[in-house]
Chain A
Amino acid sequence: KNEVEQSPQNLTAQEGEFITINCSYSVGISALHWLQQHPGGGIVSLFMLSSGKKKHGRLIATINIQEKHSSLHITASHPRDSAVYICAGGSQGNLIFGKGTKLSVKP
């Protein structure tokens, strides 16, 4: 069992829909990262959080430390949001990555 689990693995949505991607972890972490990877490989850091909630534009990330669970929400989804979303958790230079959620937003 991977120590960082994401769901769903694949997600198809219509433009405008509200999207939620979930991440559960079984290891102790000092921070949880949400990353976005577009086709072609480059990874962009979306959020790093250790408690509560963060918002950036249409993206919202939450974390519940007690439940070891984090969610990434996308409001008013757009085709340009199509990408693989990865959560990663860890400490001291030892990040454990989830396998990613492939999101496809259709116009």
Chain B
Amino acid sequence: DAMVIQNPRYQVTQFGKPVTLSCSQTLNHNVMYWYQQKSSQAPKLLFHYYDKDFNNEADTPDNFQSRRPNTSFCFLDIRSPGLGDAAMYLCATSRGWANSPLHFGNGTRLTVT
């Protein structure tokens, strides 16, 4: 029973062509996170929502935006993908802050051509 679902599993986009990645959850968790993970590196937090409150990491490029229209869904928009944005994008949820267990989706692997 997948509880955090990311779509698509693989996404190929062209340089500069906007792309949207989606994440949905059936856990009714307050917090949803978006992480970027490049090859052989640790996941890097891009932003997170606590309910509707949006928190952007200071070093997240402006090229990355997010939307959370309701509790269940969260989207990552990359307005003008560059070659350096190719990575695995991971969505995670938790009931509260970081002292609550995290639940991850399977990730979306983004390729930029």
Residues of A within 8 A of B (CB): 2, 29-31, 33, 35, 40-45, 48, 50, 86, 90-95, 97-100
- Give chain B's interface residue range (CB within 8 Å of chain A): 20 to 34
B15 near A: Cβ within 8 Å? no
Which of B43, B44, B48, B50 has the most CB atoms of chain A within a 10 A radius of its CB?
B43
Closest to B100 in A: A48
29 sample A-B contacts, Cβ–Cβ < 8 Å, listed by A number: A29-B98, A33-B98, A33-B102, A40-B107, A41-B37, A41-B88, A41-B90, A41-B106, A41-B107, A41-B109, A42-B104, A42-B105, A43-B92, A43-B107, A45-B102, A45-B103, A48-B100, A50-B99, A86-B42, A92-B98, A93-B31, A93-B33, A93-B48, A93-B97, A93-B98, A94-B98, A97-B42, A97-B43, A99-B42
- CB atoms of A45 and B100 under 8 A apart: no
B70 CB contacts on chain A under 8 angstroms: none
- CB atoms of B42 and A100 under 8 A apart: yes
B19 CB contacts on chain A under 8 angstroms: none
Chain B contacts with A in 25-50, Cβ cutoff 8 A: 31, 33, 37, 40-45, 48, 50
A97 CB contacts on chain B under 8 angstroms: 42-44
A43 CB contacts on chain B under 8 angstroms: 43, 90, 92, 102, 104, 107
Compute how far the CA of A50 lies from the CA of B40 in the bound complex, rounded to whole angstroms: 27
A40 CB contacts on chain B under 8 angstroms: 106-107
Chain B contacts with A in 69-113, Cβ cutoff 8 A: 88, 90, 92, 97-107, 109
Q: 18 extra interchain contacts, Cβ-Cβ under 8 A, other than A41-B37, A45-B102?
A: A2-B42, A30-B97, A31-B98, A40-B106, A40-B107, A42-B107, A43-B90, A45-B104, A48-B100, A50-B99, A91-B98, A91-B99, A92-B98, A93-B50, A97-B42, A97-B44, A98-B42, A99-B40
